[in-house]
């Protein structure tokens, strides 16, 4: 009962002359911590919606580039299988440099897939180690010319304020730093579609087979945001409750000092000077 009384007294002191400005600071801190917790819950819900959308699109029939034109906005094709059928043109194959797998340096093999209407789409067929990127060694990774490709759509990697390479059909550039379709178009004998395909592994293909195909996108982690939200809410509760206990402790300390000061002093005789008996001086 005494503790409950102390807690109530601490609550009444929150906005008195001594504590009001400290209380405002603590309230602001609790609000910020609660906001961070709510923000993490919103992030969790956002990723949950993305995972649901990803799972739904992954189960959809592949988008067939041979039959349907690419939309201007590729957002609707994210996380959906893309299918294209044509012939690989190894004569105009290029490499995407400075691509690593783990700590191993290498390059991605980018091969045009020529469609039946003489258009083409670039296909990132996979990664090969750096010591296999010489033209005479790349031949071993050639596949059957006629191909039906399943993969993921990727946007052209165009960078603003960056000089476009001056490659031409007569002076093609084999190695590129990014898949800039507008620049690569200059050395191709057919029109390129404004996007490229990251090829996924065929059924039964080993994951480490060269060239190493793109990996399937993994679901976003939702639980980490629930954990972060729990931490922020806990910090807010600790701050608020701890501040209240600080007021309680200060009140107890003030009571002890007041009690000590109010106690009357008792004379035990110890340490006092004894009263000497009067001495009569007789002459």
Q: Report how far residue 23's alpha carbon sits from residue 17's, in angstroms, rounded to the nearest whole number.
A: 11
* Tally of CA atoms within 13 A in the half-sphere of 58 that contains its CB: 11
User: Would the pTM of this model clear 0.85, i.e. be above it?
Assistant: no
pLDDT (0 to 100) of residue 176: 93
Q: What is the DSSP string of 81-112?
A: -EEEEEEE-GGG-EEEEEEEETTEEEEEEEEE
Q: pLDDT tens for the chain, 283 residues: list them.
A: 667 666 776 676 777 778 888 889 999 999 999 999 999 999 999 999 999 999 999 999 999 999 999 998 899 899 999 999 999 999 999 999 888 888 889 999 999 999 999 999 999 999 999 999 998 899 999 999 899 999 999 999 887 666 666 677 778 899 999 999 999 999 999 999 999 999 999 988 998 899 999 988 889 998 899 999 999 999 999 999 898 888 888 877 877 787 787 766 554 555 555 555 555 544 4
């Amino acid at each position: 009962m005494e503790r409950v009384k102390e807690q109530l007294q601490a609550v009444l002191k929150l906005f008195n002359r001594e504590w009001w400005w400290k209380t405002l600071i603590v309230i602001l801190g609790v609000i910020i911590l609660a906001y961070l917790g709510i923000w993490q819950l919103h992030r969790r819900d956002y990723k949950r919606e993305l995972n649901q959308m990803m799972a739904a699109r992954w189960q959809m029939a592949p988008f067939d580039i041979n039959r349907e034109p690419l939309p201007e906005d590729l957002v609707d094709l994210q996380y959906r299988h893309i299918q294209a059928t044509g012939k690989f043109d190894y004569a105009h194959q290029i490499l995407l440099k400075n691509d690593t797998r783990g700590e191993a340096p290498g390059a991605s093999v980018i091969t045009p897939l020529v469609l039946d209407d003489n258009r083409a789409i670039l296909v990132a067929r996979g990664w090969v180690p750096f010591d296999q990127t010489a033209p005479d060694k790349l031949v071993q990774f050639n596949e059957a010319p006629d191909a039906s490709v399943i993969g993921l759509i990727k946007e052209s990697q165009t960078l603003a304020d960056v000089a476009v390479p001056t490659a031409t059909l007569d002076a093609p550039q084999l190695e590129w730093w990014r898949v800039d379709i507008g620049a690569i178009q200059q050395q191709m004998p057919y029109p390129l579609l404004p996007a490229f395909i990251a090829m996924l592994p065929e059924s039964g293909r080993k994951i480490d087979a060269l060239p190493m195909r793109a990996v399937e996108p993994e679901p976003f982690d939702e639980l980490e945001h629930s954990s972060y939200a729990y931490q922020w809410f806990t910090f807010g509760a600790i701050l608020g409750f701890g501040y209240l206990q600080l007021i309680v402790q200060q009140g107890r300390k003030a009571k002890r000092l007041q009690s000590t000061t109010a106690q009357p002093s008792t004379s035990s005789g110890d340490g006092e000077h004894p009263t000497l008996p009067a001495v009569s001086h007789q002459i």
